[in-house]
Amino acid sequence: MNLWILLAFTAVAECRYQKRGTHSCPDLCSCSSPPSEVVCSQSSLTHFPVDGLPSNTSLLSIQSTNLSSITASHLSVVPLLNNLQLYHNHLKSLPSDLLRDVPHLNTLDLTGNQLVHLLPNTFSHTSLRRLVLKNNLIEKADAEWFLGNSSLTWLDLSGNRLTGVPAALLQKLPNLESLDLSDNNLQDLQPDALKNLHRLESLNLAGNKLSSLKPTIFAHNRKLSQLFLQENQLQDLPATLLKGLPHVELLLLNQNQLQHLLSGMLDDRKSSFQIILTANPWVCDEKMEYLWKWLTIHPQNVIFLEEVTCAGPEALKHRQVISLTGSELGLDKI
pLDDT at position 320, please? 98
pLDDT at position 334, please? 56
Residue 280 pLDDT > 90: yes
Q: pLDDT tens digit string along 73-119?
A: 999 999 999 999 999 999 999 999 999 999 999 999 999 999 999 99
* Averaged pLDDT, 166-195: 96
Residue 11 pLDDT > 60: no
Percent of the chain having pLDDT more than 90? Answer: 89
Predicted structure pTM score: 0.91
Terminal CA-to-CA distance of the chain, rounded, Å? 106
* Averaged pLDDT, 68-73: 97
Asked whether 162 and 141 are in contact (CB, 8 A), the reply is yes
pLDDT at position 277, please? 98
Bridge-based pairing state of the strands 37-40 and 29-32: antiparallel
Q: What would the 3-class secondary structure string for the chain be?
A: CHHHHHHHHHHHHHHHHHHHCCCCCCCCEEEECCCCEEEECCCCCCCCCCCCCCCCCCEEEECCCCCCCCCHHHHCCCCCCCEEECCCCCCCCCCCCCCCCCCCCCEEECCCCCCCCCCCCCCCCCCCCEEECCCCCCCCCCHHHCCCCCCCCEEECCCCCCCCCCHHHHCCCCCCCEEECCCCCCCCCCCCCCCCCCCCCEEECCCCCCCCCCCCCCCCCCCCCEEECCCCCCCCCCCCCCCCCCCCCEEECCCCCCCCCCCCCCCCCCCCCEEECCCCCEECCHHHHHHHHHHHHCHHHEECHHHCEEEECHHHCCCEHHHCCCCCCCHHHC
Residue 7 pLDDT > 70: no
Q: In order of start, what are the domains of the chain with their CATH numbers?
A: 19-137 (3.80.10.10), 258-334 (3.80.10.10)
* Minimum mean pLDDT range among 1-15, 20-34, 48-62: 1-15
pLDDT higher for 297 or 2?
A: 297
Residue 13 pLDDT > 70: no
Residue 9 pLDDT > 50: no
Asked whether 94 and 119 are in contact (CB, 8 A), the reply is yes
pLDDT at position 311, please? 98
- Phi (first) and psi of residue 276, to 5 degrees: -120, 130
Q: pLDDT tens digit string along 181-226?
A: 999 999 999 989 999 999 999 999 999 999 999 999 999 999 999 9
pLDDT at position 2, please? 53
88 Ramachandran zone, left/alpha/beta (phi>0; psi -120 to 50): left
Burial letters for 308-319: b for 16+ Cβ neighbours within 10 Å, e otherwise?
Answer: bbbeeeeebeee
For residue 34, what pLDDT band results from cuts at 50, 70 and 90? confident
For residue 18, what pLDDT band results from cuts at 50, 70 and 90? very low
Measured distance CA(231)–CA(119) in Å, rounded: 31
Q: pLDDT tens digit string along 289-305?
A: 999 999 999 999 999 99
Output the furthest CA–CA distance in the chain (Å, rounded). Answer: 107
Burial of 140 (0-12, 13-18, 19+ CB in 10 A): middle
Asked whether 102 and 81 are in contact (CB, 8 A), the reply is yes
